[in-house]
Structure 1
Protein backbone atom coordinates (compact mmCIF):
# COMPACT_ATOMS: atom_id res chain seq x y z
CA UNK A 1 0.00 0.00 0.00
CA UNK A 2 2.83 2.34 0.96
CA UNK A 3 4.64 1.45 -2.27
CA UNK A 4 1.54 2.30 -4.32
CA UNK A 5 1.13 5.62 -2.51
CA UNK A 6 4.77 6.55 -3.07
CA UNK A 7 4.52 5.54 -6.74
CA UNK A 8 1.37 7.65 -7.27
CA UNK A 9 2.96 10.64 -5.50
CA UNK A 10 6.14 10.34 -7.58
CA UNK A 11 4.15 9.99 -10.80
CA UNK A 12 2.04 13.05 -10.00
CA UNK A 13 5.16 15.06 -9.20
CA UNK A 14 6.73 13.96 -12.47
CA UNK A 15 3.66 15.01 -14.45
CA UNK A 16 3.56 18.37 -12.65
CA UNK A 17 7.26 18.96 -13.25
CA UNK A 18 6.76 18.13 -16.92
CA UNK A 19 3.91 20.62 -17.18
CA UNK A 20 6.00 23.33 -15.54
CA UNK A 21 8.92 22.57 -17.83
CA UNK A 22 6.67 22.57 -20.90
CA UNK A 23 5.58 26.16 -20.23
CA UNK A 24 8.90 27.86 -19.59
CA UNK A 25 7.73 31.33 -20.62
CA UNK A 26 4.45 33.23 -20.38
CA UNK A 27 4.13 35.81 -23.14
CA UNK A 28 1.47 38.46 -22.56
CA UNK A 29 0.52 39.88 -25.98
CA UNK A 30 -1.42 43.17 -26.05
CA UNK A 31 -3.26 44.87 -28.88
CA UNK A 32 -6.21 47.27 -29.12
CA UNK A 33 -8.53 45.85 -31.80
CA UNK A 34 -11.58 43.75 -31.02
CA UNK A 35 -11.34 40.00 -30.49
CA UNK A 36 -12.79 38.77 -33.76
CA UNK A 37 -11.38 37.42 -37.00
CA UNK A 38 -12.38 40.51 -38.99
CA UNK A 39 -9.80 42.50 -37.01
CA UNK A 40 -6.38 42.27 -38.69
CA UNK A 41 -4.55 42.64 -35.38
CA UNK A 42 -6.48 39.82 -33.74
CA UNK A 43 -6.35 37.46 -36.72
CA UNK A 44 -2.59 38.00 -36.81
CA UNK A 45 -2.30 37.53 -33.02
CA UNK A 46 -4.12 34.20 -33.14
CA UNK A 47 -1.86 33.04 -35.97
CA UNK A 48 1.19 34.06 -33.92
CA UNK A 49 -0.11 32.19 -30.87
CA UNK A 50 -0.74 28.98 -32.79
CA UNK A 51 2.56 29.23 -34.63
CA UNK A 52 4.75 29.91 -31.58
CA UNK A 53 3.11 27.35 -29.32
CA UNK A 54 3.35 24.76 -32.07
CA UNK A 55 6.99 25.42 -32.91
CA UNK A 56 8.06 25.47 -29.24
CA UNK A 57 5.89 22.54 -28.08
CA UNK A 58 4.06 24.94 -25.75
CA UNK A 59 7.26 26.06 -24.02
CA UNK A 60 6.03 29.61 -24.72
CA UNK A 61 2.50 30.20 -23.48
CA UNK A 62 1.08 33.06 -25.58
CA UNK A 63 -1.74 34.90 -23.79
CA UNK A 64 -3.55 37.44 -26.01
CA UNK A 65 -5.15 40.54 -24.48
CA UNK A 66 -7.19 42.34 -27.19
CA UNK A 67 -9.32 45.49 -27.05
CA UNK A 68 -6.92 47.49 -24.84
CA UNK A 69 -7.44 45.08 -21.92
CA UNK A 70 -3.93 45.86 -20.64
CA UNK A 71 -4.32 49.60 -21.16
CA UNK A 72 -4.02 52.19 -23.90
CA UNK A 73 -1.02 52.64 -26.19
CA UNK A 74 1.21 54.62 -23.78
CA UNK A 75 0.45 52.12 -21.00
CA UNK A 76 1.42 49.18 -23.21
CA UNK A 77 4.63 50.95 -24.26
CA UNK A 78 5.50 51.44 -20.59
CA UNK A 79 4.76 47.77 -19.94
CA UNK A 80 7.06 46.77 -22.80
CA UNK A 81 9.86 48.90 -21.33
CA UNK A 82 9.38 47.45 -17.84
CA UNK A 83 8.82 43.89 -19.04
CA UNK A 84 5.40 43.55 -17.40
CA UNK A 85 4.03 43.11 -20.92
CA UNK A 86 6.20 40.88 -23.06
CA UNK A 87 4.78 41.70 -26.51
CA UNK A 88 2.61 44.45 -27.94
CA UNK A 89 1.35 45.63 -31.30
CA UNK A 90 1.01 49.39 -30.94
CA UNK A 91 0.34 52.23 -33.36
CA UNK A 92 2.58 55.14 -34.29
CA UNK A 93 1.43 57.84 -31.87
CA UNK A 94 2.18 56.05 -28.58
CA UNK A 95 5.42 54.65 -30.01
CA UNK A 96 6.72 58.12 -30.80
CA UNK A 97 5.79 59.15 -27.26
CA UNK A 98 8.30 56.56 -26.00
CA UNK A 99 10.81 56.69 -28.88
CA UNK A 100 10.70 60.09 -30.55
CA UNK A 101 12.39 59.24 -33.88
CA UNK A 102 9.39 57.06 -34.76
CA UNK A 103 7.52 60.33 -35.34
CA UNK A 104 9.39 60.68 -38.64
CA UNK A 105 6.81 58.26 -40.07
CA UNK A 106 4.11 60.88 -39.49
CA UNK A 107 5.60 62.84 -42.40
CA UNK A 108 2.51 63.43 -44.56
CA UNK A 109 2.15 62.45 -48.20
CA UNK A 110 5.60 60.80 -48.27
CA UNK A 111 4.68 57.31 -49.61
CA UNK A 112 2.92 56.76 -52.93
CA UNK A 113 1.47 53.32 -52.14
CA UNK A 114 1.87 50.21 -49.99
CA UNK A 115 4.60 48.77 -52.20
CA UNK A 116 6.82 51.79 -51.57
CA UNK A 117 5.97 51.97 -47.88
CA UNK A 118 6.65 48.27 -47.26
CA UNK A 119 9.91 48.37 -49.22
CA UNK A 120 11.22 51.31 -47.20
CA UNK A 121 10.21 49.85 -43.83
CA UNK A 122 11.52 46.36 -44.66
CA UNK A 123 14.85 47.76 -45.90
CA UNK A 124 17.88 49.51 -44.44
CA UNK A 125 15.87 52.46 -43.18
CA UNK A 126 13.49 50.33 -41.12
CA UNK A 127 16.30 48.12 -39.82
CA UNK A 128 18.29 51.14 -38.63
CA UNK A 129 15.25 52.73 -36.97
CA UNK A 130 14.36 49.53 -35.11
CA UNK A 131 17.94 48.93 -33.96
CA UNK A 132 18.18 52.47 -32.59
CA UNK A 133 14.86 51.98 -30.81
CA UNK A 134 16.09 48.75 -29.22
CA UNK A 135 19.27 50.43 -27.98
CA UNK A 136 17.45 53.45 -26.55
CA UNK A 137 14.39 51.80 -25.01
CA UNK A 138 15.05 48.10 -24.48
CA UNK A 139 12.13 47.33 -26.81
CA UNK A 140 12.78 45.12 -29.82
CA UNK A 141 10.73 45.95 -32.95
CA UNK A 142 10.52 43.01 -35.34
CA UNK A 143 8.77 44.95 -38.08
CA UNK A 144 5.61 46.82 -38.94
CA UNK A 145 2.21 46.08 -40.41
CA UNK A 146 -0.33 48.54 -41.75
CA UNK A 147 -2.45 50.62 -39.43
CA UNK A 148 -4.17 51.77 -42.60
CA UNK A 149 -3.78 54.69 -44.97
CA UNK A 150 -5.12 57.55 -42.86
CA UNK A 151 -8.02 59.63 -44.17
CA UNK A 152 -10.11 62.40 -42.60
CA UNK A 153 -13.72 61.86 -41.57
CA UNK A 154 -16.08 64.41 -40.04
CA UNK A 155 -19.73 65.15 -39.31
CA UNK A 156 -19.84 68.70 -40.71
CA UNK A 157 -19.05 68.87 -44.44
CA UNK A 158 -17.20 67.22 -47.33
CA UNK A 159 -13.47 67.94 -47.47
CA UNK A 160 -11.93 68.11 -50.95
CA UNK A 161 -9.07 70.56 -50.31
CA UNK A 162 -7.28 72.14 -47.34
CA UNK A 163 -9.62 75.14 -47.26
CA UNK A 164 -12.46 72.77 -46.33
CA UNK A 165 -10.61 71.83 -43.12
CA UNK A 166 -10.84 75.35 -41.72
CA UNK A 167 -12.53 75.40 -38.30
CA UNK A 168 -13.06 71.63 -37.96
CA UNK A 169 -12.25 70.02 -34.62
CA UNK A 170 -10.29 66.86 -35.41
CA UNK A 171 -9.25 64.14 -32.98
CA UNK A 172 -5.60 63.10 -33.26
CA UNK A 173 -3.36 60.51 -31.63
CA UNK A 174 -1.72 61.45 -28.35
CA UNK A 175 1.57 62.72 -29.80
CA UNK A 176 2.39 66.35 -30.70
CA UNK A 177 3.38 65.60 -34.29
CA UNK A 178 -0.24 64.72 -35.10
CA UNK A 179 -1.44 68.00 -33.65
CA UNK A 180 1.03 69.79 -35.91
CA UNK A 181 -0.20 67.90 -38.97
CA UNK A 182 -3.87 68.76 -38.48
CA UNK A 183 -3.24 72.37 -37.52
CA UNK A 184 -1.07 72.90 -40.61
CA UNK A 185 -4.23 72.23 -42.63
CA UNK A 186 -6.28 74.84 -40.79
CA UNK A 187 -8.25 72.61 -38.43
CA UNK A 188 -7.96 72.47 -34.65
CA UNK A 189 -6.49 69.28 -33.16
CA UNK A 190 -7.64 67.51 -29.99
CA UNK A 191 -5.57 64.56 -28.72
CA UNK A 192 -7.88 61.75 -27.57
CA UNK A 193 -6.75 58.22 -26.52
CA UNK A 194 -8.06 55.50 -28.81
CA UNK A 195 -10.49 53.88 -26.33
CA UNK A 196 -12.19 57.26 -25.80
CA UNK A 197 -12.56 58.16 -29.48
CA UNK A 198 -16.05 56.73 -30.20
CA UNK A 199 -17.46 58.59 -27.21
CA UNK A 200 -15.74 61.84 -28.22
CA UNK A 201 -17.34 61.63 -31.66
CA UNK A 202 -20.75 60.68 -30.33
CA UNK A 203 -20.77 63.51 -27.78
CA UNK A 204 -19.51 66.12 -30.24
CA UNK A 205 -16.27 66.77 -28.36
CA UNK A 206 -14.68 66.62 -31.82
CA UNK A 207 -16.17 66.94 -35.31
CA UNK A 208 -14.00 64.31 -36.89
CA UNK A 209 -10.91 62.17 -36.79
CA UNK A 210 -8.32 60.58 -39.06
CA UNK A 211 -7.77 56.85 -39.41
CA UNK A 212 -7.51 53.99 -41.87
CA UNK A 213 -10.51 51.93 -42.95
CA UNK A 214 -9.66 49.07 -40.57
CA UNK A 215 -9.88 51.24 -37.48
CA UNK A 216 -12.97 53.08 -38.72
CA UNK A 217 -14.72 49.72 -39.09
CA UNK A 218 -13.29 48.10 -35.97
CA UNK A 219 -14.51 50.85 -33.65
CA UNK A 220 -17.66 51.59 -35.68
CA UNK A 221 -16.55 55.22 -36.03
CA UNK A 222 -18.74 55.57 -39.12
CA UNK A 223 -21.78 55.59 -36.85
CA UNK A 224 -20.92 59.11 -35.72
CA UNK A 225 -19.50 60.51 -38.99
CA UNK A 226 -21.08 61.63 -42.27
CA UNK A 227 -18.16 62.41 -44.59
CA UNK A 228 -14.83 60.85 -45.49
CA UNK A 229 -12.08 62.46 -47.56
CA UNK A 230 -9.72 59.97 -49.22
CA UNK A 231 -6.62 62.15 -48.99
CA UNK A 232 -4.34 59.37 -47.69
CA UNK A 233 -2.20 61.79 -45.72
CA UNK A 234 -0.15 59.23 -43.78
CA UNK A 235 0.69 55.54 -44.18
CA UNK A 236 0.20 54.57 -40.57
CA UNK A 237 1.86 51.63 -38.86
CA UNK A 238 1.47 49.04 -36.14
CA UNK A 239 4.84 47.89 -34.81
CA UNK A 240 5.31 44.33 -33.56
CA UNK A 241 7.42 44.76 -30.42
CA UNK A 242 8.83 42.69 -27.56
CA UNK A 243 10.65 43.44 -24.33
CA UNK A 244 14.32 42.84 -25.15
CA UNK A 245 15.17 41.15 -21.85
CA UNK A 246 12.33 38.67 -22.39
CA UNK A 247 13.55 37.98 -25.94
CA UNK A 248 17.12 37.41 -24.75
CA UNK A 249 15.81 35.00 -22.11
CA UNK A 250 14.54 32.69 -24.83
CA UNK A 251 16.64 29.89 -26.23
CA UNK A 252 18.04 30.20 -29.75
CA UNK A 253 15.38 27.88 -31.15
CA UNK A 254 12.64 29.80 -29.36
CA UNK A 255 13.92 33.11 -30.74
CA UNK A 256 13.89 31.61 -34.22
CA UNK A 257 10.30 30.47 -33.72
CA UNK A 258 9.24 33.94 -32.54
CA UNK A 259 10.97 35.60 -35.50
CA UNK A 260 9.33 33.27 -38.01
CA UNK A 261 5.90 33.56 -36.43
CA UNK A 262 6.06 37.36 -36.32
CA UNK A 263 6.77 37.31 -40.06
CA UNK A 264 3.62 35.26 -40.60
CA UNK A 265 1.55 37.56 -38.37
CA UNK A 266 2.79 40.68 -40.19
CA UNK A 267 1.97 39.17 -43.57
CA UNK A 268 -1.60 38.38 -42.47
CA UNK A 269 -2.03 41.80 -40.87
CA UNK A 270 -0.72 43.68 -43.92
CA UNK A 271 -2.86 41.73 -46.35
CA UNK A 272 -6.11 42.25 -44.47
CA UNK A 273 -5.53 45.97 -43.89
CA UNK A 274 -4.28 46.70 -47.41
CA UNK A 275 -7.32 44.98 -48.92
CA UNK A 276 -9.61 47.23 -46.90
CA UNK A 277 -7.65 50.34 -47.89
CA UNK A 278 -7.82 49.40 -51.56
CA UNK A 279 -11.60 49.16 -51.30
CA UNK A 280 -12.05 52.17 -49.01
CA UNK A 281 -14.55 54.05 -51.18
CA UNK A 282 -16.91 51.08 -51.52
CA UNK A 283 -16.59 49.91 -47.90
CA UNK A 284 -17.21 53.33 -46.36
CA UNK A 285 -20.02 54.25 -48.75
CA UNK A 286 -21.77 51.04 -47.73
CA UNK A 287 -21.54 52.24 -44.11
CA UNK A 288 -23.39 55.43 -45.03
CA UNK A 289 -20.50 57.88 -45.41
CA UNK A 290 -20.37 60.38 -48.26
CA UNK A 291 -17.04 59.66 -49.93
CA UNK A 292 -14.96 62.51 -51.39
CA UNK A 293 -12.07 61.36 -53.60
CA UNK A 294 -9.18 63.82 -53.56
CA UNK A 295 -7.88 64.77 -56.99
CA UNK A 296 -4.11 64.81 -57.70
CA UNK A 297 -4.25 68.59 -57.90
CA UNK A 298 -5.92 68.90 -54.50
CA UNK A 299 -3.59 66.30 -53.00
CA UNK A 300 -0.71 68.55 -54.05
CA UNK A 301 -2.41 71.36 -52.12
CA UNK A 302 -2.62 69.17 -49.03
CA UNK A 303 1.05 68.19 -49.42
CA UNK A 304 2.20 71.79 -49.90
CA UNK A 305 0.27 72.90 -46.81
CA UNK A 306 1.23 70.08 -44.47
CA UNK A 307 4.58 68.60 -45.40
CA UNK A 308 6.88 71.62 -44.83
CA UNK A 309 5.24 72.48 -41.50
CA UNK A 310 5.35 68.90 -40.21
CA UNK A 311 8.91 68.38 -41.40
CA UNK A 312 10.01 71.57 -39.64
CA UNK A 313 8.37 70.36 -36.45
CA UNK A 314 9.90 66.88 -36.69
CA UNK A 315 13.38 68.27 -37.38
CA UNK A 316 13.00 70.54 -34.38
CA UNK A 317 12.20 67.54 -32.21
CA UNK A 318 14.57 64.84 -33.49
CA UNK A 319 17.03 66.61 -35.80
CA UNK A 320 17.57 66.18 -39.52
CA UNK A 321 19.12 62.70 -39.54
CA UNK A 322 15.99 60.52 -39.62
CA UNK A 323 13.98 62.80 -41.95
CA UNK A 324 16.94 62.84 -44.35
CA UNK A 325 17.30 59.06 -44.15
CA UNK A 326 13.62 58.67 -44.94
CA UNK A 327 13.89 61.00 -47.94
CA UNK A 328 16.88 59.03 -49.21
CA UNK A 329 15.08 55.69 -48.81
CA UNK A 330 12.04 56.98 -50.71
CA UNK A 331 14.24 58.37 -53.48
CA UNK A 332 16.19 55.11 -53.70
CA UNK A 333 12.92 53.25 -54.19
CA UNK A 334 11.80 55.65 -56.92
CA UNK A 335 15.16 55.29 -58.68
CA UNK A 336 14.46 51.57 -59.13
CA UNK A 337 11.41 52.23 -61.29
Structure 2
Protein backbone atom coordinates (compact mmCIF):
# COMPACT_ATOMS: atom_id res chain seq x y z
CA UNK A 1 0.00 0.00 0.00
CA UNK A 2 1.40 3.40 -0.98
CA UNK A 3 0.49 6.23 1.42
CA UNK A 4 0.26 9.90 0.39
CA UNK A 5 -0.30 12.14 3.44
CA UNK A 6 -0.80 15.89 3.80
CA UNK A 7 -2.69 16.62 0.61
CA UNK A 8 -0.08 15.19 -1.75
CA UNK A 9 -2.85 13.94 -4.02
CA UNK A 10 -4.84 17.16 -3.97
CA UNK A 11 -7.58 18.55 -1.77
CA UNK A 12 -9.84 16.21 0.18
CA UNK A 13 -12.75 16.89 -2.14
CA UNK A 14 -10.49 16.04 -5.07
CA UNK A 15 -9.69 12.69 -3.45
CA UNK A 16 -13.41 11.87 -3.24
CA UNK A 17 -13.69 12.64 -6.93
CA UNK A 18 -10.62 10.54 -7.68
CA UNK A 19 -12.01 7.61 -5.69
CA UNK A 20 -15.23 7.86 -7.65
CA UNK A 21 -13.29 7.89 -10.94
CA UNK A 22 -11.13 4.96 -9.86
CA UNK A 23 -7.80 6.80 -9.97
CA UNK A 24 -7.49 6.54 -6.17
CA UNK A 25 -8.38 3.50 -4.10
CA UNK A 26 -8.83 4.75 -0.54
CA UNK A 27 -8.86 8.03 1.36
CA UNK A 28 -9.48 9.28 4.91
CA UNK A 29 -11.15 12.69 4.80
CA UNK A 30 -13.10 15.11 6.96
CA UNK A 31 -16.84 14.50 6.79
CA UNK A 32 -17.51 18.05 5.61
CA UNK A 33 -15.65 17.16 2.41
CA UNK A 34 -17.97 14.21 1.75
CA UNK A 35 -21.22 16.16 2.03
CA UNK A 36 -20.85 17.98 -1.33
CA UNK A 37 -20.98 14.54 -2.99
CA UNK A 38 -23.38 12.83 -0.57
CA UNK A 39 -25.54 15.54 1.04
CA UNK A 40 -27.43 13.19 3.35
CA UNK A 41 -24.22 12.60 5.30
CA UNK A 42 -24.61 16.24 6.33
CA UNK A 43 -27.06 15.15 9.02
CA UNK A 44 -24.00 14.31 11.13
CA UNK A 45 -22.66 17.85 10.69
CA UNK A 46 -25.76 19.79 11.72
CA UNK A 47 -24.62 22.00 14.61
CA UNK A 48 -25.11 20.26 17.95
CA UNK A 49 -26.53 17.09 16.40
CA UNK A 50 -23.77 15.14 18.16
CA UNK A 51 -23.07 16.03 21.78
CA UNK A 52 -20.51 13.38 22.79
CA UNK A 53 -18.13 10.74 21.47
CA UNK A 54 -20.65 8.12 22.54
CA UNK A 55 -23.33 9.73 20.38
CA UNK A 56 -20.93 9.91 17.45
CA UNK A 57 -20.25 6.18 17.73
CA UNK A 58 -23.95 5.36 18.14
CA UNK A 59 -24.92 7.21 14.96
CA UNK A 60 -22.04 6.07 12.76
CA UNK A 61 -21.92 2.42 13.85
CA UNK A 62 -25.67 1.78 13.95
CA UNK A 63 -28.53 1.73 11.47
CA UNK A 64 -28.10 5.39 10.53
CA UNK A 65 -24.44 4.88 9.70
CA UNK A 66 -25.32 1.93 7.49
CA UNK A 67 -27.98 3.95 5.67
CA UNK A 68 -25.51 6.81 5.12
CA UNK A 69 -23.02 4.32 3.70
CA UNK A 70 -25.66 3.11 1.23
CA UNK A 71 -26.58 6.69 0.33
CA UNK A 72 -22.92 7.55 -0.27
CA UNK A 73 -22.41 4.57 -2.56
CA UNK A 74 -25.36 5.71 -4.68
CA UNK A 75 -24.59 9.42 -4.63
CA UNK A 76 -20.79 9.48 -4.73
CA UNK A 77 -19.63 6.07 -5.95
CA UNK A 78 -17.58 5.49 -2.81
CA UNK A 79 -18.16 3.26 0.21
CA UNK A 80 -17.53 4.23 3.82
CA UNK A 81 -15.50 1.41 5.38
CA UNK A 82 -15.01 3.00 8.79
CA UNK A 83 -14.91 6.20 10.79
CA UNK A 84 -12.17 8.10 12.58
CA UNK A 85 -13.27 10.08 15.64
CA UNK A 86 -11.20 13.20 16.28
CA UNK A 87 -13.31 15.05 18.86
CA UNK A 88 -15.16 18.33 18.82
CA UNK A 89 -14.01 21.21 16.65
CA UNK A 90 -12.99 23.86 19.18
CA UNK A 91 -12.46 27.50 18.26
CA UNK A 92 -8.99 29.04 18.42
CA UNK A 93 -8.09 32.68 17.89
CA UNK A 94 -5.28 35.16 18.42
CA UNK A 95 -7.29 38.18 19.64
CA UNK A 96 -9.22 37.55 22.86
CA UNK A 97 -11.09 34.99 24.96
CA UNK A 98 -14.45 34.02 23.46
CA UNK A 99 -17.14 33.03 25.93
CA UNK A 100 -20.26 34.44 24.28
CA UNK A 101 -21.54 35.09 20.77
CA UNK A 102 -20.86 38.82 21.12
CA UNK A 103 -17.18 38.07 21.76
CA UNK A 104 -16.93 36.91 18.14
CA UNK A 105 -17.88 40.32 16.77
CA UNK A 106 -15.29 41.68 14.37
CA UNK A 107 -13.31 38.45 14.18
CA UNK A 108 -12.27 36.86 10.91
CA UNK A 109 -12.63 33.10 11.28
CA UNK A 110 -11.41 30.55 8.75
CA UNK A 111 -13.75 27.66 7.97
CA UNK A 112 -13.74 24.87 5.38
CA UNK A 113 -15.75 25.37 2.21
CA UNK A 114 -18.85 23.77 3.73
CA UNK A 115 -22.30 25.36 3.68
CA UNK A 116 -23.48 24.08 7.07
CA UNK A 117 -20.35 25.28 8.84
CA UNK A 118 -20.45 28.65 7.09
CA UNK A 119 -24.10 29.17 8.02
CA UNK A 120 -23.41 28.17 11.62
CA UNK A 121 -20.97 31.04 12.02
CA UNK A 122 -23.38 33.37 10.26
CA UNK A 123 -26.00 32.42 12.86
CA UNK A 124 -23.55 33.74 15.44
CA UNK A 125 -23.34 37.08 13.66
CA UNK A 126 -20.12 36.88 11.66
CA UNK A 127 -19.22 36.09 8.06
CA UNK A 128 -16.53 33.40 8.18
CA UNK A 129 -13.82 33.08 5.57
CA UNK A 130 -13.87 29.81 3.59
CA UNK A 131 -10.28 28.78 3.00
CA UNK A 132 -8.37 25.72 1.82
CA UNK A 133 -6.73 23.71 4.57
CA UNK A 134 -3.19 24.07 3.23
CA UNK A 135 -3.48 27.86 3.40
CA UNK A 136 -4.69 28.00 7.00
CA UNK A 137 -1.49 28.08 9.06
CA UNK A 138 0.07 30.82 6.96
CA UNK A 139 -3.15 32.85 7.06
CA UNK A 140 -3.19 32.63 10.87
CA UNK A 141 0.51 33.45 11.06
CA UNK A 142 0.15 36.52 8.84
CA UNK A 143 -3.07 37.65 10.61
CA UNK A 144 -5.09 37.33 7.41
CA UNK A 145 -7.59 35.53 9.63
CA UNK A 146 -7.90 35.69 13.41
CA UNK A 147 -8.98 32.16 14.13
CA UNK A 148 -10.24 28.78 13.01
CA UNK A 149 -11.82 25.66 14.47
CA UNK A 150 -10.53 22.11 14.58
CA UNK A 151 -10.30 19.24 17.07
CA UNK A 152 -7.67 19.47 19.79
CA UNK A 153 -5.56 16.77 18.18
CA UNK A 154 -5.47 18.64 14.86
CA UNK A 155 -4.69 21.97 16.53
CA UNK A 156 -1.84 20.27 18.37
CA UNK A 157 -0.33 18.40 15.43
CA UNK A 158 -0.53 21.53 13.27
CA UNK A 159 1.19 23.56 16.03
CA UNK A 160 -1.51 26.21 15.99
CA UNK A 161 -0.37 27.09 19.51
CA UNK A 162 2.49 28.93 17.77
CA UNK A 163 0.07 31.39 16.12
CA UNK A 164 -3.04 31.22 18.35
CA UNK A 165 -3.53 32.18 21.99
CA UNK A 166 -7.13 31.36 22.94
CA UNK A 167 -9.26 28.23 22.75
CA UNK A 168 -13.03 28.08 23.27
CA UNK A 169 -14.70 24.74 23.87
CA UNK A 170 -17.58 25.27 21.48
CA UNK A 171 -18.91 21.84 20.62
CA UNK A 172 -21.06 22.50 17.61
CA UNK A 173 -19.51 19.84 15.40
CA UNK A 174 -17.95 16.50 16.26
CA UNK A 175 -15.16 15.83 13.80
CA UNK A 176 -15.65 12.59 11.91
CA UNK A 177 -13.34 11.32 9.18
CA UNK A 178 -14.80 8.54 7.05
CA UNK A 179 -12.45 6.03 5.44
CA UNK A 180 -13.71 5.71 1.88
CA UNK A 181 -12.95 3.20 -0.84
CA UNK A 182 -13.85 3.24 -4.50
CA UNK A 183 -17.08 1.20 -4.76
CA UNK A 184 -15.97 -0.11 -8.14
CA UNK A 185 -12.78 -1.41 -6.54
CA UNK A 186 -14.68 -2.89 -3.59
CA UNK A 187 -17.02 -4.81 -5.89
CA UNK A 188 -14.04 -6.29 -7.76
CA UNK A 189 -12.86 -8.01 -4.58
CA UNK A 190 -13.60 -11.62 -3.67
CA UNK A 191 -16.24 -12.28 -0.98
CA UNK A 192 -13.42 -13.13 1.43
CA UNK A 193 -11.56 -9.89 0.74
CA UNK A 194 -14.75 -7.86 1.12
CA UNK A 195 -15.22 -9.31 4.60
CA UNK A 196 -11.60 -8.53 5.45
CA UNK A 197 -11.97 -4.91 4.31
CA UNK A 198 -15.21 -4.39 6.26
CA UNK A 199 -13.71 -5.97 9.39
CA UNK A 200 -10.60 -3.80 9.06
CA UNK A 201 -12.82 -0.72 8.83
CA UNK A 202 -14.59 -1.62 12.07
CA UNK A 203 -11.28 -2.36 13.79
CA UNK A 204 -9.85 0.99 12.66
CA UNK A 205 -12.96 2.79 13.94
CA UNK A 206 -12.60 1.22 17.37
CA UNK A 207 -8.89 2.05 17.47
CA UNK A 208 -9.68 5.70 16.71
CA UNK A 209 -12.31 5.79 19.46
CA UNK A 210 -9.85 4.48 22.04
CA UNK A 211 -7.06 6.72 20.77
CA UNK A 212 -8.97 9.98 21.18
CA UNK A 213 -10.13 8.94 24.66
CA UNK A 214 -6.56 8.23 25.68
CA UNK A 215 -4.89 11.29 24.14
CA UNK A 216 -7.15 14.35 24.22
CA UNK A 217 -6.76 15.34 27.89
CA UNK A 218 -2.98 15.17 27.65
CA UNK A 219 -3.03 17.30 24.51
CA UNK A 220 -5.10 19.97 26.27
CA UNK A 221 -2.65 20.11 29.17
CA UNK A 222 0.32 20.41 26.84
CA UNK A 223 -1.33 23.20 24.87
CA UNK A 224 -1.81 25.14 28.11
CA UNK A 225 1.87 24.59 28.91
CA UNK A 226 2.69 26.04 25.51
CA UNK A 227 0.84 29.23 26.41
CA UNK A 228 -2.73 28.74 25.25
CA UNK A 229 -5.74 29.71 27.36
CA UNK A 230 -8.76 27.39 27.30
CA UNK A 231 -12.22 28.78 28.01
CA UNK A 232 -15.73 27.32 28.19
CA UNK A 233 -18.69 29.19 26.69
CA UNK A 234 -20.99 30.93 29.16
CA UNK A 235 -24.20 29.22 30.34
CA UNK A 236 -23.25 25.80 29.00
CA UNK A 237 -23.12 27.16 25.46
CA UNK A 238 -26.86 27.94 25.52
CA UNK A 239 -26.67 31.03 23.30
CA UNK A 240 -24.51 29.32 20.68
CA UNK A 241 -26.81 26.28 20.65
CA UNK A 242 -30.05 28.24 20.34
CA UNK A 243 -28.87 30.46 17.50
CA UNK A 244 -27.26 27.67 15.50
CA UNK A 245 -30.00 25.07 15.79
CA UNK A 246 -32.91 27.46 15.17
CA UNK A 247 -31.30 29.19 12.20
CA UNK A 248 -29.29 26.42 10.56
CA UNK A 249 -31.19 23.15 10.96
CA UNK A 250 -34.33 24.16 8.99
CA UNK A 251 -32.20 25.35 6.05
CA UNK A 252 -30.75 21.87 5.57
CA UNK A 253 -33.69 19.55 6.28
CA UNK A 254 -34.18 18.94 2.57
CA UNK A 255 -30.54 18.21 1.77
CA UNK A 256 -30.13 15.71 4.63
CA UNK A 257 -33.26 13.80 3.68
CA UNK A 258 -36.04 15.64 5.49
CA UNK A 259 -36.99 16.83 8.96
CA UNK A 260 -38.25 13.33 9.75
CA UNK A 261 -34.71 11.98 9.27
CA UNK A 262 -33.41 14.51 11.80
CA UNK A 263 -36.15 13.48 14.23
CA UNK A 264 -35.23 9.82 13.72
CA UNK A 265 -31.56 10.51 14.45
CA UNK A 266 -32.46 12.35 17.64
CA UNK A 267 -34.74 9.47 18.65
CA UNK A 268 -31.84 7.03 18.29
CA UNK A 269 -29.94 9.23 20.75
CA UNK A 270 -32.92 9.52 23.12
CA UNK A 271 -33.17 13.26 22.55
CA UNK A 272 -35.84 15.70 21.46
CA UNK A 273 -35.66 18.72 19.16
CA UNK A 274 -33.62 21.51 20.79
CA UNK A 275 -36.11 24.18 19.72
TM-score, normalised via structure 1 length: 0.76
Q: Choose 1 or 2 for highest CA Rg.
A: 1
Q: CA RMSD in A?
A: 1.9
Point out 4+ residue stretches in structure 1 off by more than 4 angstroms.
none
Q: 1:189 to 1:196 in 2, by over 3 A?
A: same
Matching residue within 100, 107, 116 for 1:168? 107
Matching residue within 147, 162, 165 for 1:226? 165
The number of equivalent residue pairs is: 271
Q: 2:217, 2:248 → 1: CA distance?
A: 26
Q: Which has the higher strand share?
A: 1
Q: 2:10, 2:209 → 1: CA distance?
A: 24
Q: 1:101 to 1:278 in 2, by over 3 A?
A: farther
Is 2:257 the counterpart of 1:315? no
Contact 2:224 2:230 in 1 (8 A): yes
Which residue is equivalent to 2:238? Answer: 300
Contact 1:105 1:236 in 2 (8 A): no
The SS at the match of 1:152 is: strand
Q: Which has the higher helix share?
A: 1
Which residue is equivalent to 2:118? Answer: 179
Is 2:23 the counterpart of 1:84? yes
1:116, distance to aligned residue in structure 2 (A): 1.9
Which residue is equivalent to 2:70? Answer: 131
The SS at the match of 1:188 is: coil
5+ residue gaps, structure 2: none
The SS at the match of 2:192 is: helix
1:263, distance to aligned residue in structure 2 (A): 2.1
Q: Write out per-residue CA displacement over residues 68-116 of structure 1, whole angstroms, 9 at most, x where no aligned residue.
A: 1111111111111111111111102211121112222222223332112
Which residue is equivalent to 1:237? Answer: 176
1:129, distance to aligned residue in structure 2 (A): 1.2
Q: 1:257, 1:97 → 2: CA distance?
A: 29
Q: 1:185 to 1:283 in 2, by over 3 A?
A: farther
Q: Write out per-residue CA displacement over residues 143-201 of structure 1, whole angstroms, 9 at most, x where no aligned residue.
A: 32213211111011101111111221111111111110111112221111111111111
Is 2:141 the counterpart of 1:202? yes
Query: Matches of residues 6-25 of structure 1 in structure 2 within 5 Å?
Result: none
Q: 1:315 to 1:204 in 2, by over 3 A?
A: same
Q: 1:253, 1:107 → 2: CA distance?
A: 37
The structure showing larger relative contact order (alpha-carbon pairs under 8 Å, at least 6 residues apart) is 2
5+ residue gaps, structure 1: 1-61
The SS at the match of 1:75 is: helix
Which residue is equivalent to 1:15? Answer: none
1:278, distance to aligned residue in structure 2 (A): 4.1
1:134, distance to aligned residue in structure 2 (A): 0.9
